[in-house]
A and B are shown apart, each in its own frame.
Chain A
Amino acid sequence: DVKVTQSSRYLVKRTGEKVFLECVQDMDHENMFWYRQDPGLGLRLIYFSYDVKMKEKGDIPEGYSVSREKKERFSLILESASTNQTSMYLCASSPHRDRGHEQYFGPGTRLTVT
């Protein structure tokens, strides 16, 4: 079974702190994604990566950065957390650059910024 794990289920941080969210997948997938999920807005793509050291901006990259130094790990970084970044963050991976493949999701990290 594909497994996508995220470093924390719940996280509370203060405004201005630097926040790292880690995601690891164990199936050698090329693609990895970071989304934020807010009620009534569905999922919005922050960044995705289709290879090591490659990244592409999604729909809402402002205030976020990412790092993919190893194929299995994709990190989301909030350089200076703000209250409007309080949200559920979901990581996902999929096998190939080719479209149409299923995305496998992690359990999510619920981040609260106070």
Chain B
Amino acid sequence: AQTVTQSQPEMSVQEAETVTLSCTYDTSESDYYLFWYKQPPSRQMILVIRQEAYKQQNATENRFSVNFQKAAKSFSLKISDSQLGDAAMYFCLKLDSNYQLIWGAGTKLIIKP
């Protein structure tokens, strides 16, 4: 079975610093999508950023960017200038050509004031 691995169950970062959350996956396909979702405490899951595998350019959304290494099957999320509101569970998701959805186990991000 295909897997998505988030090797860091918990990460902490000082406010205003930069943090990187890791995600690795396995696949035999060349065409798939990768996503990072954020789930704040007691609030709804929301999309942070997405990456299409055929695009070489790394996606960015304001303070959030990804480092997509297709050959290494790695999709890390970098959060710059961390803010208290960034505290949440972060989930990595792979969506393949058969519409198979594979989620990582999540990383809890703690922001230290």
A38 → chain B, closest Cβ, in Å?
A: 9
| Of B9, B45, B95, B97, most A-chain CB atoms within 10 Å | B45
Which range contains the number of B residues in contact with the other chain?
A: 20 to 34
Q: Is the interface of B mostly helix, strand, loop or mixed?
A: strand
Instruction: Count A-side interface residues using an 8 Å CB cutoff.
Output: 20
Select one of B52, B95, B97, B103 contacting A43, CB under 8 A. B103
Q: Contacts A42-B106, A105-B44; is A99 near B50 (CB within 8 Å)?
A: no
CB of A42 within 8 A of CB of B105, answer yes
> Are B47 and A103 in touch, CB under 8 angstroms?
yes
Whether B52 contacts A107 by the Cβ 8 Å rule is no
Q: How far is the CB of B106 from chain A (nearest CB, A)?
A: 5
Docked complex Cα distance between A106 and B47 (Å): 13
Question: In whole Å, how far is A50's beta carbon from the nearest beta carbon of chain B?
Answer: 8
Please, which residues of chain B bring their CB within 8 A of the CB of A102?
Answer: 35, 47, 50
Residues of B within 8 A of A45 (CB): 101
A92 to B52, CA, bound (A): 21
Residues of chain A lying within 8 A (CB to CB) of residue B37? 103
Per-residue interface assignment for chain B, residues 30 to 52, with 1 indicating a CB less than 8 Å from any chain A CB and 0 otherwise = 00010101000001111100101
Q: List 19 A-B contacts (CB under 8 A).
A: A4-B44, A33-B101, A41-B105, A42-B4, A42-B91, A42-B103, A42-B104, A42-B105, A45-B101, A58-B101, A90-B45, A92-B45, A99-B33, A99-B99, A100-B50, A100-B52, A103-B45, A103-B47, A107-B44
Q: Nearest 10 CB-CB pairs, A to B? A: A105-B45, A42-B103, A43-B103, A42-B105, A102-B47, A100-B33, A105-B44, A45-B101, A107-B44, A99-B95
Which B residues form the contact surface with A (CB < 8 A)?
Answer: 4, 9, 33, 35, 37, 43-47, 50, 52, 91, 95, 97, 99, 101, 103-106
Question: A: which residues have CB within 8 A of B?
Answer: 4, 33, 40-45, 48, 58, 90, 92, 99-100, 102-103, 105-108
